[in-house]
Chains A and B, each alone.
Chain A
């Protein structure tokens, strides 16, 4: 994903968390941002010779802040780092061998092994979601989806498999593709389209401008999410919000698919209340352009996100079950307290 040049790391630190994070994302296309962040933090702990709890926590906090600052859109990432930090603190507070009184080396070993276990589990959660979600794809239905979400892809592929291979496929997909940044590259999601077609699922690809037109032919809308926020809304690829609005207007069920580690402790009140700076709307006059200020259309890049409020979402399909948007805060509170 966004490969920003890693900011000059503090001189004392031989381990560059930003580079590690970006490397992890690049090397494993199946990795989500929160998991990559957690994995990077686990690696950081293995590399750093911290010997006390407070030192560990301090290091973690500093690296997290550094990582968040260096990545243009830290929403998905912060879900992972927050979760890891929370996990660490609860583990350390627990009485017993691994508590504050215990041997720190044992604690560290435990943390690292558990951190790896967590990562493995998180990767498995995609299958779990697919198992929960495939029931939503009914025989003879048409699914409208967008973006390049891996969870949605795996859900749809699972549904296609489920129906007994190419001969018995009974659902169709309308795939909303947004044009790629440069015209030479293929649009995001094309891979999923190919995979689905290979399984015999009829797929139609439409541009974003045709969503309203095509929605009449669709039965359900399934989208992925970059982060699920506290009020049950989702932060997702630019364009999801408008699909949500249209689906609501047309009375089509709108499902968001997300792993539960994507739940973020964030409460946006609207599109412009996200903690990231996106220059989507960029006003220019002719004068500005001649002055050398180039109007950049970032709206089509894969980095920009929008916020879909909870009242547009019928349900969230997660690995802890199918939740209503209002149940998200309950899940989050359970994690945090």
Chain B
């Protein structure tokens, strides 16, 4: 669904996966919508008959008919309605495309029912062969569909089944279709976050708050409502837009919650100008207290743990770890840093360059070489996306592997794993695995021939790891291992074998963003409120939110 492949290139099967969820959604929506909209009058109306019903619902409540009636809808209802309309529109487009594609009528309706069945039943039937799923055999035995449809279905489904629930809306690619309420600063920020120009939990949190500050500065309360009431909904539009660009991080969520609380606690009698000034101050204070100063405190106290002769292993590019290492270096400590990085974001490259420029001794390797990198490690420093209430670390995918390698190093002394994390990243959620809650990025990022489709920002600077990168390209795509080698379309010279992965049958790519490190692998969490064992995360979270 991501980039609706342009019609010229599409073979019919590749388009047809999308209509299934879309139509499903639209039917869901249309069946949901009528009951919620007119609760009292139109009980007798038949559900699917949408067009005849709408006038009816307009007529029935005479007090609030027509346009004013629509205004009365709550934002949630509005959103639902907009979604339903969009889904319907999309479904129509797709139907047209299919019809023009020729294969149309046949696979279209055929594709929908099996899809429904498989989403209802969880994992199973749509697995690529070779993936070890116990339920698969059983399911297949019980499935009554013809093998032809099954074949089709497998080709169609490019979502990895276990993570099926995480494929929501694809990330927004343009600002087209964004609501007119969305502030330009937010529009730009959304795209920057989408392109990983603004990347990292803290950076996104700060950027969001700063953008919201501009939103608030540009905001005027409409007549007939108060700032504390209307501004929240106004911000909600911005937030919705941001979350369509990339799902919000935990820190963003926490910051937004705090901001909304601050807005709602403003006395309606306060004049608008001073209310806005208060909110601006609140945002500045929040950024300073929860992130800027917190980072300094964390960096200082984490740097104390670095001793002469240490070999510090870190994963990807955490800004707080960078600050810690630089602080320790400035204190005159002699230590080595080993950065472990991974595809496709290569966040470690920036860190490596910054540290090397500052004068530190840096070793850079990819996660494939973890067993070598960890051999002479004495400490592991990790950044965090979030800390969950059961003490687990939710961070860039690969972190768990690094932590595990450090803790389970065969025959060596235990290497302490230290997490640097501001309390704004703490959440009361609990994560048992990295499947239930996660984020899936565009799988095209894994296809190496098109590295990062950046709209903004700089091209990739560091080329010193070219050879390593080449290695990783071969090994990095586990999903590729299952792909049958034979391909009908000959690939151009130099292109990755994965380039046409959407057309390749039995091939799914998974580009997952985060993983969960068990609490047992974390020795210490350094926060601005002191160093804690992971088990103390919920207590500190409770305290920092109550204050």
Contacts and interface: CB of A to CB of B under 8 A. Distances in A.
A337 B524 contact: no
B536 A269 contact: no
Looking at A230, A267, A270, A336, the one whose CB has the most chain B CB atoms below 10 A away is: A267
Contact of B529 (A231, A310, A337): A337
Contacts of A333: 529-530, 532, 536, 539-540, 543
Q: How large is the interface on B (under 10, 10 to 19, 20 to 34, 35 or more residues)?
A: 10 to 19
A267 B543 contact: no
14 contacts: A230-B533, A231-B523, A231-B524, A231-B533, A267-B531, A269-B305, A269-B416, A270-B416, A273-B305, A326-B535, A330-B536, A333-B529, A333-B536, A337-B543
Contacts of B418: 269
Interface string A303-337: 00000001000000000000000100110010011
Contacts of A310: 533
A232 interface: yes
Please classify the interface of chain B as helix (H, G, I), strand (E, B), loop, or mixed, using the class held by over half of its residues.
Answer: mixed
Contacts of B305: 269, 273
Contacts of B533: 230-232, 310, 326, 329
A231 B416 CA distance: 13
Interface in A261-317: 265, 267, 269-270, 273, 310
Interface of B: 305, 379, 414, 416, 418, 523-524, 529-533, 535-536, 539-540, 543
Nearest to B529: A337
B539 A329 contact: yes
A17 B107 CA distance: 89
Contacts of A267: 524, 531
Nearest to B544: A337
Best-surrounded residue of B523, B535, B540, B543 (most CB of chain A within 10 A): B535
Contacts of B414: 270
Given A269-B305, A269-B523, A273-B305, A336 B530 contact: yes
The 7 closest A-B pairs by CB, nearest first: A326-B535, A329-B536, A267-B531, A269-B416, A231-B533, A330-B539, A329-B533
B532 A329 contact: yes
A249 to B, nearest CB: 16
B529 A230 contact: no
Nearest to A328: B533
Contacts of B535: 326, 329
Contacts of B524: 231, 267, 269
Contacts of A230: 530-533
Nearest to A333: B539
B16 to A, nearest CB: 52
Contacts of A329: 532-533, 535-536, 539
A310 B523 CA distance: 10
A330 B305 CA distance: 22
Nearest to B301: A267
B383 to A, nearest CB: 18
A37 to B, nearest CB: 21
Contact of A265 (B416, B523, B530): B530
A231 B537 CA distance: 12
A180 B531 CA distance: 37
A336 B530 CA distance: 10
A278 B201 CA distance: 41
Contacts of A269: 305, 379, 416, 418, 523-524
Contacts of B379: 269
Interface string A210-231: 0000000000000000000011
A272 to B, nearest CB: 8
Given A231-B524, A267-B524, A326 B416 contact: no
